[in-house]
């Protein structure tokens, strides 16, 4: 069966003071129908730029230099703005970390959902209103009718994110891209929103790309995980395999940063030493090498994807040669 989304060789650059900076560097991945794919990595790895490139939402100083993005067989990168507008909000929708920046402060929640429904579906105002209320109920708003009359700033962060999810689902998208949807929320609300997203995804059968820096969130939500580092996908595996058998030292380090209930009280919080490089255009070898305790001379050679079993690959030559015990 063809993939719902197939990204090949996607490369995105931004204009910098000294020329172009590569932000996303030749990445390949796919999403199947009904699948949840998580993109995980530290801040600055290129997760958001990947999703904005797919959606054609890069700001003027950014541009896709290479690659193709096939969605349901159509190349999104060669579409006109008008064609893309039809796909966005209709077939692919997105929710972001901070719903306040996406919701218009001067219109009521109801107005905005109704407007979004009517822009993409041929419904009368009354029918759109009914659908908006149903959607608010579906995303767990206790007083859907009352919420319709409220302005975004009067709602809590979790409620606002529910409104965004209702809007995103209003046109029965085939793919939902959720970019750090719970980062701005407190922990209990985070769990509720993740549970809601997973339930809605299962119920509707839509596909989902979940972007997060929190690998702990991934376990209960993803089918497959892509680990990004410095603009590249450095490991990809089904979620269980990734957690049980991580190959890239960066993935392992990310997993080590997640505290578990079994940790003793005096266990120190673990962080990954060093930082994601700001610019990685001139690096030929492994981009994580500077921070990696297993670095060897061969890490400075160009890296490729090595297979580690079914649907599992990672860019680590040392691991491929069986040289480290993680």
Stretches 55-63, 200-208, 295-303, 311-319: which one binds ligand ATP (CB under 6 A)?
55-63
- 47 lies in the binding site for ligand ATP (CB under 6 A): yes
- CA–CA distance, 129 with 127 (Å, rounded to integer): 5
Q: How far is the CB of 181 from ligand ATP (least distance, A)?
A: 12
Q: How far is the CB of 99 from ligand ATP (least distance, A)?
A: 16
Sheet containing 19-31, strands listed edge to edge, beginning at the edge strand earlier in sequence: 19-31, 5-16, 62-71, 74-75
- CA–CA distance, 55 with 76 (Å, rounded to integer): 8
Site string for ligand ATP, 226-265 (x = CB under 6 A): ----------------------------------------
- Extended strands (E) in the chain: 5-16, 19-31, 36-40, 62-71, 74-75, 92-95, 175-179, 207-212, 224-229, 232-238, 306-307, 313-314
Residues 14-43 that bind ligand ATP (CB under 6 A): 14, 23, 41, 43
CB burial class (10 A; 0-12, 13-18, 19+) of residue 100?
Answer: middle
Residue 151 has which token pair? 């302005």
- Fill in the DSSP letter of residue 46: S
Stretches 59-67, 98-106, 117-125, 132-140: which one binds ligand ATP (CB under 6 A)?
59-67
Number of H helices, E strands in the chain: 12, 12
Q: How far is the CB of 321 from ligand ATP (least distance, A)?
A: 29
Q: Using CB under 6 A, which of 2, 61, 202, 301 touches ligand ATP?
A: 61
Q: How far is the CB of 236 from ligand ATP (least distance, A)?
A: 16
Q: Which residues are paired to 92 by β-bridges?
A: 88, 175
Please identify, using beta-carbon distances, which residue of 46 and 99 lies nearer to ligand ATP.
Answer: 46
Number of residues that bind ligand ATP (CB under 6 A): 15
Site string for ligand ATP, 258-297 (x = CB under 6 A): --------------------x-------------------
Q: How far is the CB of 184 from ligand ATP (least distance, A)?
A: 12
**Ramachandran angles phi, psi of 258, nearest 5°:** -85, 115
Q: Using CB under 6 A, which of 36, 45, 200, 299 touches ligand ATP?
A: 45
Helix axes 109-120, 157-169, angle to 10 degrees: 20
Q: How far is the CB of 171 from ligand ATP (least distance, A)?
A: 25
- 182 lies in the binding site for ligand ATP (CB under 6 A): no
CB burial class (10 A; 0-12, 13-18, 19+) of residue 40?
Answer: buried
Please give the residue ranges that form the binding site for ligand ATP (CB under 6 A): 14, 23, 41, 43-49, 59, 61-62, 213, 278
């Amino acid at each position: 069966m063809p993939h719902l989304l197939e990204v090949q060789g996607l490369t995105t650059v931004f204009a910098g003071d000294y020329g172009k900076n590569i932000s996303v560097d030749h990445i390949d991945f796919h999403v199947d129908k009904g699948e949840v794919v998580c993109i995980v990595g530290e801040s600055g790895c290129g997760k958001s730029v990947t999703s904005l490139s797919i959606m054609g939402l890069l700001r003027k100083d950014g541009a896709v230099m290479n690659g193709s993005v096939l969605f349901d067989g159509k190349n999104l990168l060669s579409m006109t703005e008008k064609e893309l507008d039809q796909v966005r909000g209709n077939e692919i929708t997105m929710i972001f970390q901070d719903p306040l920046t996406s919701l218009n402060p001067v219109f009521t929640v109801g107005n905005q959902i109704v407007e979004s429904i009517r822009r993409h579906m041929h419904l009368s105002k009354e029918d759109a209103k009914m659908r908006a209320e149903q959607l608010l109920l579906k995303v767990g708003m206790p007083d859907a009718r009352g919420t319709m009359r409220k302005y975004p700033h009067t709602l809590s962060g979790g409620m606002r994110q529910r409104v965004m999810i209702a809007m995103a689902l209003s046109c029965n998208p085939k793919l939902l891209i959720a970019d750090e949807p719970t980062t701005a929320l407190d922990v209990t609300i985070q769990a509720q929103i993740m549970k809601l997203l997973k339930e809605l995804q299962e119920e509707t059968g839509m596909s989902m790309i979940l972007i997060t820096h929190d690998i702990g969130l991934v376990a209960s939500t993803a089918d497959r995980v892509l680990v990004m580092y410095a603009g590249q996908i450095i490991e990809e595996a089904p979620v269980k395999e990734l957690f049980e058998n991580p190959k890239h030292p960066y993935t392992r380090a990310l997993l080590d940063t997640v505290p578990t209930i079994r940790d003793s009280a005096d266990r120190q919080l673990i962080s990954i030493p060093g930082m994601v490089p700001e610019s990685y255009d001139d690096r030929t070898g492994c981009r994580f090498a500077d921070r990696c305790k297993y670095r060897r001379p061969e890490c400075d050679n160009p890296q490729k994807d090595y297979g580690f079993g079914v649907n599992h690959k990672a860019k680590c030559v040392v691991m491929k040669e069986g040289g480290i015990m993680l």
